[in-house]
Structure formats: C-alpha cells, structure tokens
A = this chain, B = another copy of it.
Amino acid sequence: MKHKRSVFFISDGTGITAETLGHSLLAQFELLDVRQMRMPFVDSVDRALDCVERINAAGHSDGVRPIVFLSIVNPEVSAVLAQANALPLDVFARFIGPLEQELGMKSSHTIGRFKGVEESQAYHRRMEAINFALAHDDGVSSAELDSADVILVGVSRSGKTPTTLYLAMQFGVKAANYPLIPEDFDRNALPGELARHRSKLFGLTIAPERLQHIRQERRPNSRYASIENCRFEVDAAQKLMRREGIRWLDSTRKSIEEISTIIMQAVHLDQSGF
C-alpha cells in the first residue's frame, strides 16, 4: 500500500533546519512516493494563508493529509499554519519551552540563525575556511600548511576535495589537501614539509574498483584510470600511510558527512563551534 504523500518544509527563515531534521526522520521510513515542497521565508499571515491553501490542495489531490515540518518563530504565523489539514511537526516550538524554563530566560523570537557576535565570528570563520579550501584545492605552500587545521592526504580522486569543502562549510575547519603522487610512493616517505605536521594529517583511501570508476568518468581509458594503476596507487598510498603512522579511513561507502565527522573526532576538533 503505497500512496502519494506530500511533505512540506515551512519556515520563516531559510527552512534548512526543518528540512535537515525532516529528511533524517523520513529516512527512517520506506516511503515510495513522496513529493516534497520547501516554503521558506513565510514571515507574514498572508504568506501563511497561501501555504495553508497549498497544503490543503495537496492533501485533496493525494487523498491523504500532508506532513508539515515547521520552524516558525512568530506565534501569529504559527496559528495560521495550524489551521491546515495536515500533520504538523513543529521542530522549533517543541524545544523552545523546555529551554526557556531551563535557562530561566525568554527566547528572543527572532528569525534565523545569522545574528549575534559569536554567530558572526563563526560565520566569518566558515567563509575563511571555504576560501582556504578553494585556494588550496591542489597543493599548498609550506606557510599555508601551518595555518591548516587538518591536512587530508590520499591519491587523486579519493574524496579529499569534497571533504575539505564540507569541513569548511559545516564546521568552519580549514582543511588542506595533499595529493599523494608517484614520487611520494617512490620515496615511500612523506615530504619533509608534511612530516612536520603529522598530528594534523588524515588519510583517505578508497576501493580500487570505485577509484577506477570515478577516474574513468574524468579521463576515459587513460592509464590514470586503469584498474592496474588504481590498485597500485591505493596499495602504495596505504603502505605509505601505515609506515608514517597516519590515521586513515576508507571513503568508499561513506558519505562526506560521515567522513568529515570522523576526521573532526580524529584530529580532536570535536569541540563544537557556534
């Protein structure tokens, strides 16, 4: 029995919080025909009325009431949205009350998360980290390695670049990227400039078959993409990392969220920013 189900993410801000939680929750169910709608910046009664109309229309067309993830600060807007014929799951309201009581203060009822000095500092750090990741996508100077929070090593296309970007975007962590190349394998030792930063090093490895697939998309039928070469490079990289005592993980079946979180723990960056 699989019928269509509409899911709305409604917020007076970007709705990214509601959507993130909503996706985590929906991933716990085997839903086959879900239509998802994002409705951000719903910050007036008029816009809320428009949402109610769209929710009710979707429910009518589906034959079953929609699920609505809400993250709304303004109580007037909330009250309007509560009139929709839907299952409302307010990811915000549920927790604000207990927090107010625990902290002995009222919440500021302001929209979104982009405010306050600390928040701005954290934001500035994120932007700097993104620029750092972009500027150092391929190779870094010795001075720049000094300022990196973490340095990812691994063969070309083992997942380093998306991971450095995610670390920057989500955690404000400055991650540099050091691709292992044949001369590193010949030497079977890290270059001196890297060896100085051993505590910041983290390795990524990948199954040779997966690496071949990824490289093949970029440079079809090259020696670079051949399974023999992929096997050789992965094996040489693992030997090198083992010899140098570099912690590493296999990125083959992990998401960048998982890879990044493991790295944060490994290099002791698990004190959360804010």
Give A88 Cβ to nearest chain B Cβ, in Å. 9
Give A156 Cβ to nearest chain B Cβ, in Å. 13
Asked if A195 is an interface residue, CB under 8 A from chain B, the answer is no
Give A217 Cβ to nearest chain B Cβ, in Å. 9
Question: Considering the chains assembled together, what is the distance between the CA atoms of A169 and B20 in angstroms?
Answer: 13
B271 touches A38 (CB 8 A): yes
- Residues in B with CB closer than 8 Å to A95 are 21, 25, 89, 91
Give A152 Cβ to nearest chain B Cβ, in Å. 15
**How many copies of this kind of chain does the complex include?**
2
Question: Considering the chains assembled together, what is the distance between the CA atoms of A31 and B118 in angstroms?
Answer: 10
The binding surface of chain A is classed by DSSP as: mixed
Question: Considering the chains assembled together, what is the distance between the CA atoms of A271 and B27 in angstroms?
Answer: 17
- Residues in B with CB closer than 8 Å to A74 are none
- Residues in B with CB closer than 8 Å to A67 are 99, 102
- Residues in B with CB closer than 8 Å to A23 are 113, 274
B258 touches A105 (CB 8 A): no
Asked if A233 is an interface residue, CB under 8 A from chain B, the answer is no
Please report the total number of A residues contacting B with Cβ < 8 Å: 80
B87 touches A98 (CB 8 A): yes
Question: A22-48: contact bitstring with B at CB < 8 Å (1 yes, 0 no)?
Answer: 011111111100111111110000000
Question: Considering the chains assembled together, what is the distance between the CA atoms of A92 and B26 in angstroms?
Answer: 11
A and B contact pairs by CB, cutoff 8 A, 5 listed? A13-B258, A27-B112, A30-B116, A40-B264, A113-B255
* Residues of chain A at the chain B interface (Cβ within 8 Å): 5, 7, 9, 13-17, 19-21, 23-31, 34-41, 67, 71, 73, 87, 89, 91-92, 94-96, 98-99, 102-103, 105, 107-110, 112-116, 119, 123, 127, 130-131, 134, 137, 161-162, 165-166, 169-170, 254-258, 260-262, 264-265, 270-274
